[in-house]
Every structure is written in C-alpha cells, then in structure tokens.
Copies of this chain bind each other. A is one copy, B any other.
C-alpha cells in the first residue's frame, strides 16, 4: 500500500469483451480490486435470474464494476483532463466511486432486497465505511476519503459534477450495463456510439453536459435503454423465475418463524430473519450460497418449499397471462377461491407482478424520485434540456409504461385429475385476458 497517487510500476490490463481492455495504473485501484469484498462480486450475477431466459447472461457484477470504472477513467483521462471546469483532485475519488458503486448488492439483488427490506446502497456505504478490506485500502488516501467515496455514491457529495458523472440519466453505470448486458445476452439492442458520447461530454459547474453535436448519439442511447428494459430486463420469463425466487425466500422465512424443523437449516439467513444483519454476515451471502440452500431444500418435507426450489433449480417456471389487477379484480378474487378449493396455496402459486419504466424524464423538482435531466450545451454555451431539442426524446419523455402479468403453475393445474371442474374454471378465467 502507501499512496496517494501512487502508480503501479507497470500498467495492468484486464481483457474485457465490451471495452477491449480495462486499464489500471493507480495502485489504489489495483488494491481495491484485490479486496475480498470486491472479489465477492464475482459470485453475484449482473442480471439476477435473466440467465434462465437468455443463457448468455451469466456475467457477474465484478465484470460490470470494472466496466464502469473504465468508462469514468476514459472520461477523466481523455476528455476532462486539463479542462478548466474539471478539478483533477477529484480524479481518484471519482474512480473509486465508479468501481465500488455496486459493492452492496446481495445475491439476486432485487428479489432479495424486496423480501428482506434491504437497500443495497446502504450496504455499499456500510462496506465502504465499516471494518473491511475496502475501508482499509481507502484510508490510505486520508481519514475522510472513505466517507467522501460513500457520499459520491449517495449523491450527497458537495461537488455535483462528480455526482452527475457517477449517477445521472446518462452515466457510466448505464452506459456500461446496456452494452454489457446486450453483449452477454446476444440481443441486437443495446448498441450506441459510446465513444462519440464520451467525446462530447463536457464538465460544467454542477453537472456533466453533452455538446449539441452529440445529440443523436444520445437519442440512440435512450432508445437502446428503452429496448433493453422491455426486451431483456422485464422479460416475463425472467420475472417468472424472480417470482419463484421471492416465494422461496418468503416460505423459508415463514417456516423458520413458524418453528419448522429444517433438514438443512438456513444458518446464513438467521440474522436476516431476526433483523440483526451485520456487514460481516451480509458479505457471506452470494449466489452460490443461495443455490446451495435451494438445492438442499429440494429435499425438505415442506412441499411448498421443496416444490418451489425444484422449480427454480430445474427451471420449471410458472406460466403467465396478461392480467390487469385494476380491471380484473373480480376474476382475481375468483381465482384465489378456486386455487384454495383446489388445495393450492394462492399466496405462493398465484402471483401478480408488475413492471414499469420511464425511459427518460425531464426535471420535476420535488417529485419522489428526482431524476436529473440531460442537458445539451449549444454552440453558444447555453444549456437546453434534451427533450426540448430532440423530437424523439420528447415523444417518450415522462411517459411511464407499465405491464402487469399473472403467474401460475400450469403443470399443477393441468394435473388436477380429481378436480376437473375447478381446473376448467381456472383455465377458463386464465384464457380470457382483459
């Protein structure tokens, strides 16, 4: 150790399929990558259950975190360097925030967070500030350096330019994951001219802006994002897997609280169940651990738990139909009754799931989740909000799209040999979408 600004005697590179090479010259960055907390990201997939739909999507958050770092490094070293609005002292801070922004993700993170009411950003902060390898490395830069890194990630850091570099509607995080997820899934969405976007990024007092001449590349990026959301991230088959995953986690917790005697006890989950999770416990959780339990639980006595684990592990997912809970309340209630009548627990086997996305939004101060709009820098230096210049972006700006699906186990329903009537009634309702 011993920095600051220490350089490696020779640059290290990682071969990366998306950015060709990832370049590391700073000893600080190299040491961060070598910590156990950062290496743990190798055991957490970037896209959770998506690999059950797109088999190529087996890449980890380790991959993506390096990618975000590399993009920020290029912006700073190739584009911002020596521009008066950019303070070179923020360089290493920005690189660390980029590299570490996803550190707190748990296994299958969205499902996991929802079930246990966790927030991965809180864990990111806790890992950065706690008694960890990461913290030890960061401290070499000064006593308040870890705190500053955490603030950048939390968007509370005073230099808003640095914050907007890391999180905005066109940040390095999004630019990396769109391209990376497109690459590994193999879909033909997700392409845009990142090199051009990087070249037209300009630092301003409190935000990164885009030169007007790069507007079309940004439009392309926004369309890519839109397509990736609906074609990949919200794919109904991946959501089916996520629904099952969520129900497994719920069931196991329920059984634990209920005093059920597990053959394979959920030791890694105890502190979660008792709301006493520590950073140390949290860091022990990753997807290999989860898959270990799910495979073990396939042999539990509890048929709901074992059935759901079998479904997840062997990829025997739920079917789905479009179903609008607002318009189909009556059918919903009927289905619940019919499932109960058939002896299937609707809490676990009849699941409504909704996805929703806002492809781009202009600034709405005071709203729940404030999103910084993208600003174009006109030739005369003036800034204009993107949707006022781009017809395409204007057309989709601020328009939320939502999709509702109802998930259920078709195979179980079709197996009802003794309850033919209930089966027919259920199938009748499921066949008639609104």
Contacts and interface: CB of A to CB of B under 8 A. Distances in A.
Interface in A191-232: 191-193, 195-196, 199, 216-217, 219-220, 223, 226-227, 230-231
Interface in A382-403: 391-392, 395-396, 399, 401
Contacts of A226: 392
Contacts of A292: 288-289, 292
Interface in A14-63: 14-18, 20-21, 34-36, 39, 42-43, 51-52, 54-56, 58-60, 62-63
Interface in A207-260: 216-217, 219-220, 223, 226-227, 230-231
27 contacts: A15-B54, A16-B55, A17-B184, A21-B199, A34-B316, A42-B55, A55-B60, A58-B60, A188-B192, A188-B193, A188-B217, A189-B220, A191-B191, A216-B227, A216-B231, A223-B392, A226-B392, A284-B295, A288-B288, A288-B289, A288-B290, A288-B292, A288-B295, A292-B292, A391-B396, A392-B392, A395-B395
Contacts of A17: 56, 183-186
Given A392-B395, A395-B392, A291 B188 contact: no
Contacts of A316: 34
A96 interface: no
A181 to B, nearest CB: 11
A341 interface: no
Contacts of A75: none
Contacts of A152: none
- How many identical subunits does the complex contain? 4
B392 A396 contact: yes
A14 B237 CA distance: 13
Nearest to A184: B17
A291 B391 CA distance: 39
A186 B20 CA distance: 7
Dominant secondary structure of chain A at its interface with chain B:
helix
A253 B282 CA distance: 30
Contacts of A62: 55
Interface of A: 13-18, 20-21, 34-36, 39, 42-43, 51-52, 54-56, 58-60, 62-63, 66, 183-189, 191-193, 195-196, 199, 216-217, 219-220, 223, 226-227, 230-231, 284, 286-292, 295, 313-316, 391-392, 395-396, 399, 401
A64 to B, nearest CB: 10
Contacts of A401: 391
Nearest to A359: B392
A71 B51 CA distance: 22
A55 B66 contact: yes
A129 B301 CA distance: 29
B289 A295 contact: yes
A336 to B, nearest CB: 26
B59 A58 contact: yes
B58 A58 contact: yes
A279 to B, nearest CB: 16
Nearest to A194: B188
Residue in A20, A58, A193, A314 whose Cβ sees the most chain B Cβ within 10 Å = A58
Nearest to A14: B55
